Amino acid sequence: MRWMALALAVLAGLLVVQLAVRLRSLGAAKTAAVRENPVAPVPFQWPAIAPGLWKVFRAATPPPAVPAAGSLASRYRLAGVFLILTDPGESNPENRCAILDDVQTQQQYLAAEGEQVDRVRVVSVASDHVVLSDGAREETLYLAAGTLDGAAPGAAAGPAPDAPPILEANRFGNRVGETRWEFNRDAILEYYQEMMDNPERLASLFLAMEADRDGAGKVAGYRLNTDVGERDFYTQVGLQHGDVVRKVNSMRMTSQRRAEYFIGEFVQGRLGAVVLDIERNGQPTKLVYLIK
């Protein structure tokens, strides 16, 4: 019996060893098959969304079409902006007025905020641009460069391509219209310094403006008498003997103090343009000086 039991044990061990060898061989074959024929990964796909769901993310009405830019700029040109002066000592807020050119009709307009220019309304006026509205939309126009080198911010050297023709040139700048000039600020300040260094010339400059009084004896302006002195200066800025200056940038010239106030505003660089309301041979007219 002992030998029989030993024989059965040996036979069972051989069967176990044979089974283990077969299982190892089968596992190796599967591993080789996986390496030779790898399974391709399934590409990622976004889940399908019903078209109706997109309405949640879209406006009910399509956005309006963007209008073509530049339609107002092709019609109007911002020549300058001037500060409307109030009486000295008043605390009124600043009010600017735009000088607009209609390039089609060759007309000049002076308009403050809220005023109408032909079919266009002036929405706002800043020191270097104006916002216009034709009722359908608004458009911003920036200062034109003009005839002087580098007159506008970012402008290239030399006159702008659309600059008006130069009718006359002098030490201060160019005359570009019947009653309009483009003047260089530095040139004017240089002349001003000459006057400050020569009291006699400065006195003659002011004495040439003689008070013009109304029926009640009040000063209503200043009449130019070029025989007193500084004739060349007054001629170069377009004034003539006998002209009466009524207003400067809408401020009535009724005292020397107001004239000094205007000069102070200019020296401080607060005036981008100067508009004189004068009376010449009994007729009112405006002289416009664009300061570059």
The more confidently predicted of residues 117 and 161 is 117
Q: Compute the average pLDDT of residues 35-46.
A: 52
Model-level pTM? Answer: 0.71
Q: Indicate whether 35 belongs to any domain.
A: no
State the pLDDT at residue 281. Answer: 95
Q: How would residue 89 be classed by pLDDT, with cut points 50, 70 and 90?
A: low
Buried b / exposed e over 106-131, threshold 16 CB at 10 Å, is eebbbbebeeebeebbbeebeeeebb
Average pLDDT of the chain, as a whole number: 80
| 238 token code pair | 């377009």
Stretch 120-142: mean pLDDT = 94
Residue 249 lies in a domain: yes
Phi and psi for 24 in degrees, rounded to 5?
-65, -40
Query: What span, in angstroms and rounded, lies between the C-alpha atoms of 276 and 179?
Result: 10
CATH classification of the domain holding 96 = 2.30.30.830
Question: Which residues are within 8 A (CB) of 258 and not within 5 positions of it... i.e. 6 or more apart?
Answer: 87, 88, 248, 251, 252
Residue 179 belongs to a domain: yes
193 and 129 in a single domain? The answer is no
Q: Is residue 8 part of a domain?
A: no
pLDDT at 240: 96
Q: Is 110 helix (H, G, I), strand (E, B) or coil?
A: strand
- Between 260 and 94, residue with greater pLDDT: 260
CATH number of the domain bearing residue 241: 2.30.42.10
**Residue 209 and residue 126 share a domain:** no
Residue 137 has pLDDT above 70, yes or no: yes
pLDDT at 59 over 80: no
Mean pLDDT within 21-36: 51
Kindly tell me if the per-residue pLDDT of 245 is higher than 90: yes
If one compares 69 and 211, the residue with the highest pLDDT of the two is 211
Cα 283 to Cα 166: distance, rounded to the nearest angstrom: 26
Same domain for 264 and 180: yes
The SS3 of residue 225 is coil
Domain that residue 183 falls in: 166-292
Residues 175 and 133 in one domain: no
Domain count, the chain: 2
Q: Is residue 58 part of a domain?
A: no
